[in-house]
Amino acid sequence: MRVSLNESIPNNINLGENRKLQKALMAWQPNFKEWWNEMGPSDFKEDQIYLRTAISVESGGWANFKYVKMPDYRFGIFLAPKLPDRTIACGDDSGKKSWDLVPGEWRKELRRIIVTQADTEPASVEQQRMLGHTAPSLYDMRNLFQVNVEEGRHLWAMVYLLHKHFGRDGREEADELLQRRSGNVDSPRILETFNKPMQDWVDFFCFTMFTDRDGKYQLGALAESAFEPLARSTRFMLTEEAHHLFVGETGVDRIIRRTCELMREAPDGDVAKLGGIPLDLMQRYINEWASSSFDLFGGEDSSNAATFFSRSLKGRWNEQRDKKITDHVGLENHYDLAVLEQGRMTNREVPLRRAMNALLLDNYHQDVVRGSKNWNKSLEEAGISQRMTIPSLRFNRSQGVYANQFFNPAGEPITEAEFEANRDNWFPSAADRAYVKSIMTPVLEAGKVANWIAPPKRGINGNNLDFEYVRFDSDPYVRA
């Protein structure tokens, strides 16, 4: 596919041949830049960051690395190559030819799906905008900024779809994406998890482990859409998203490995005396971000999910590639859902189409449990008996069948009083937050890393930790 990197809006969609669309997107571009300058990473606009930039959508050599000022980053529009003879993956029209245009009868639903996904991209940038000031290393600062610019590019991918395929409604939605603000009382982001404050780097690593991983599965479901432009956009977004998940999973692991080291050094094993992060505190952060991210999948028994699947707007994870999925219509089977009724757990049979959110959440849960096994391997290798756990899908839910019910992290029913009595045991307390804030001092020299986290096992693009991942325009500690 021909990639135009030197245009005002880098793209591989032949944007220059569609003057009307090009004009509309160029009118939106200054608003995006204004939003980035106001709500993007704080105080690092003049620094040179070692970033990867998409230059292709092919599987090999799709990106290159170079020093870039973030405001100069080449945000662009890239669609994955069109798959020859691609047919609809699922739903009533399974096996028929996929769509290049939005069917009129599903215009509202598709727009809603795209806007909801799009809204998460700027939201996460806003949540993370102050973290550069307390970066534990240049390696971590660089990874933070890589995540930020790619979320900005993912916003462009969704805005392109809104502008091209949804007319005035789409343009208005694109404008509103830059007007909402994470955590704003009057104009918050659509999904509540994206309004949560991100106060420290433990939040950041948990966010990229858990919340960005929800993005992986949502994008994967949209990659099965019968709407070809959406499927191609999200397939390429998944390529970039993989690094975000790596940052989160390895970030938590580095905290755990450093804690294990400090436990051996501390006279009584109390790593807080040495400026480390205790394992039980790490567990409380995991509980908070994992349970909040579960809610992003929506209701386990959902009429909207049934509509999106039956009309081929969304599919299951690996709908076409998973050999275990043989029924792509979803009318014959059901999903066994455990529910709480009259104080005891019982089973409810949910028609398969209505359970598409639950199925996607199950895939996600298996993935995060896999990640926790890697953390526990680090604990085992260090000779530490404690293990990190992923809470039950029933725990601390605000959406779905378990909303406003009370379970412990193991998924066992409890009373509201028991839940509240254990709140500080299961979630970061005000004292926990104050302690973590106190150790979030920046370390901004090449080759050095903060005391509370272990160095990475490998660097970026073949470089090591000593590499100068950020070249500062002025003294960064003055800004910090």
User: pLDDT at position 1, please?
Assistant: 56
Span 50-106, pLDDT tens digits:
999 988 887 777 889 999 999 999 999 999 999 888 999 999 999 999 999 999 999
> Which residues are within 8 A (CB) of 478 and not within 5 positions of it... i.e. 6 or more apart?
none
User: pLDDT at position 480, please?
Assistant: 57
Pairwise CA distance, residues 283 & 373, whole Å: 14
Question: Are the CB atoms for 334 and 285 separated by under 8 Å?
Answer: no
Q: Are strands 48-54 and 470-471 parallel, antiparallel or unpaired?
A: antiparallel
Pairwise CA distance, residues 76 & 78, whole Å: 6
Sign of CA dihedral 28, 34, 35, 36: positive
- 407 by DSSP, 3-state: which? strand
**What would the two tokens of residue 228 be?**
């070809």
β partners of residue 186: none
CATH number (1.10.620.20, 3.30.830.10, 3.40.50.300, 3.30.56.10) of 15-479 reads 1.10.620.20
> Which residues are within 8 A (CB) of 477 and not within 5 positions of it... i.e. 6 or more apart?
442, 444
pLDDT at position 2 over 80: no
DSSP state of 392: P
Span 261-306, pLDDT tens digits:
999 999 888 999 999 999 999 999 999 999 999 999 999 999 999 9
DSSP state of 81: P
> Which residues are within 8 A (CB) of 363 and not within 5 positions of it... i.e. 6 or more apart?
217, 316, 317
Alpha helices, H only, 76-130 = 107-127
**Rounded mean pLDDT of the chain?**
96
**In whole angstroms, how far apart are CA 65 and each of 4, 58, 236, 264?**
18, 16, 18, 39
Pairwise CA distance, residues 51 & 65, whole Å: 5
